[in-house]
Amino acid sequence: MSISRQVLFDRILAHFPNNMAMVFTYGSGVYQQQGHSDMSKNMLDFIFAVDSPSQWHQENMKRNIKHYSFLKYTGPHNVSYIQNKFGAGIYYNTLVKCEDRLIKYGVISTERLVRDLYDWDSLYVSGRLHKPVLTLHKVDNYELNTALHTNLQSALHTALLLLPEQFTEEELFMTISGLSYTGDFRMTVGENKNKVSNIVKPNLENFRKLYENLIDSEHHVHWNKTDAWLEQATVPSTQCHHLNLLPKMLQFTLIKKSKAKGHRDAEDIIRGIAYGGDCPELVRKCVADIVKKSSIGQSAKGVLTAGVSKTLRYSMNKVRKMLLKS
């Protein structure tokens, strides 16, 4: 007899230290995606946000030492150092067998998560959270809650800068979902080229629930919910509004790349971008720059955290799926 999904998640989480600020699960093991007929065969992906990574890894090594690569011999302090110092600040243990399922779990410090949600330092975990996820546990933390909300607002403002005057709901959610894949080298080798479409199309209702209040409160957009299309004025004043509400790292990258960087004042540069003719393309390039840097760093770190054998298995599985669906 099959057990309920919630019971399965409860059993899996019981294997880990419980001092976590937030736990969520995502991906094709949780939400239906096109091309995945049997979700029960898909790997389950989890992310654990913890206040003290070193302490958490120390306790987890007592319980689940086999989950770790050779880095376990360096001790929890060094594992925590590698987690925080390199890539996107997250440490993954992958291809782990737990409760008759294959799982992958990433550990990130709560502080690093909040910073990425606010500023898009890496657009890695914050990008995961642009899409519907299933939150299994979250402490009552005002700063974390505010950061989660701000991250969704940032995704909406960025997407609107990339979209034309009229577009469909599906196009909006495709644009939002595609942000964290823009510039990711794994989309060239290892990922299904239709990944974004496969995520969005079966989950339009989940996306609507996630973004409905934010779209309703955005005065620069008209949403025809009956016919599922939206309209905006792509004029400089509207673009300036969105640009001023972008996360810090994206604004910094825009200013650095802008042709208007001769201006000394950041507000003048942002205004110059809004009134320039290449605002959408510049925003797209800057998002890609952030994603590219973090995806390369995180993938390189994955060879250490997963070990060579698991890395090869995981990569070959990705390539095999890409070829089958191409």
**How do residues 26-36 score in pLDDT, each as one tens digit?**
998 999 887 66
Q: What is the pLDDT of residues 82-141, one digit of tens each?
A: 999 999 999 999 999 999 999 999 999 999 999 999 999 999 999 999 999 999 999 999
- d(CA 215, CA 2) in angstroms, rounded, equals 39
Rounded-to-integer distance, Cα 68 and Cα 20, Å: 19
Could you tell me the pLDDT band of residue 313, with boundaries at 50, 70 and 90?
A: low
Token output for 78: 């060094």
Average pLDDT over the chain reads 90
Looking at the chain, the whole-number percentage of residues with pLDDT higher than 70 is 88
Q: Each residue of 248-301: pLDDT tens digit?
A: 999 999 999 886 555 568 889 999 999 988 999 999 999 999 999 988 888 888
Q: Hey, how many other C-beta atoms are within 10 angstroms of the C-beta on 36?
A: 16
Q: Taking a C-beta distance cutoff of 8 angstroms, is the pair 105, 96 a contact?
A: yes
CA–CA gap between residue 197 and residue 186 (Å, rounded): 16
Residue type (1 letter), 300: A
pTM for the whole thing? 0.91
Cβ atoms of 252 and 266 closer than 8 Å: no
Residue 323 has pLDDT above 50, yes or no: no
Considering only residues 3 and 74, tell me which one the structure prediction assigns the higher pLDDT. 74
Summarize pLDDT for 232-247 with one digit per residue, the tens. Answer: 999 999 999 999 999 9
What average pLDDT does this structure show over 68-79? 95
pLDDT at 276: 86
